[in-house]
Structure 1
Amino acid sequence: MKTETTLKTTAKQRLIITFAMVAVILAIPLVAMQFTSQVDWKLFDFVIMGILLSITGLAIELVTRKVKSANWRVIITLGILLVLCLIWVELAVGIFGTPFAGS
């Protein structure tokens, strides 16, 4: 007889993982700034990116909790990630030319 165990995470554990991932992603430019002058983030950049990543992580967590269909979960999550990428690109280089553009 073979017994299978599945790992179930609680909502609190998933939120901790989400914010830990945000911290790890924000650590990448922080570490890069120590080795090169090409990465030049200010405190404001870290705050904005932290907010953007946190909102994205929380939105994906909400979709994971509320949407029952796996297909819809994937589609909505990809949409959320697409919006993240578009906002990130706009803030970085101003591809759409909005007043929020970084260049």
Structure 2
Amino acid sequence: MTQKQKTTFIYTAPAVLLCIPLIGNFTSKEFDWSVSDFGIAAVLLFGTAFLIDLIQRIIKDRTYKILTSIAIVVLLMLTWAELAVGIFGTQFAGN
């Protein structure tokens, strides 16, 4: 896989993930995302994609690339969970 293909995949994945709630908003009453919800999700997903792309370009050791990428994805998941349901009880917690 070339670097261009990797970069394309890294930035296409968040766009595809954002299409799921977009389609859900049009087809189901269970999805109730506002424009700000999509904006926050886009910042989180594309920010994570940017950091992973940066890590893939800068770090040469494969083990460190994988471990750093996993740490970034775990941080994304914890942030997303906090915003959604408030697992840590911060002022940004969702209901």
TM-score when normalising by structure 2: 0.90
For 1:23 and 1:34, the matched residues in 2 are separated by 17
Say whether 1:70 aligns with 2:73.
no
For 1:46 and 1:89, the matched residues in 2 are separated by 15
Matches within 5 A, 1:15-26: 16-26=8-18
> 1:8 aligned to 2, 5, 11, which one?
2
TM-score when normalising by structure 1: 0.84
> 2:39 aligned to 44, 47, 52, which one?
47
Give RMSD over aligned pairs. 1.6
Bigger radius of gyration: 1
| Alignment-derived partner of residue 85 in structure 1 | 77
- Deviation of the 1:23 alpha carbon: 1.6
- Give the AA of the match of 2:3: T
Say how many residue pairs are matched: 95
> 1:60 aligned to 41, 52, 58, which one?
52
For 1:75 and 1:9, the matched residues in 2 are separated by 19
CA displacement 1:58-100 (0-9 Å, x = unmatched):
0000110011111111110000000000000000001111011
- Give the AA of the match of 1:71: T
- Deviation of the 1:35 alpha carbon: 2.0
- Deviation of the 1:10 alpha carbon: 3.3
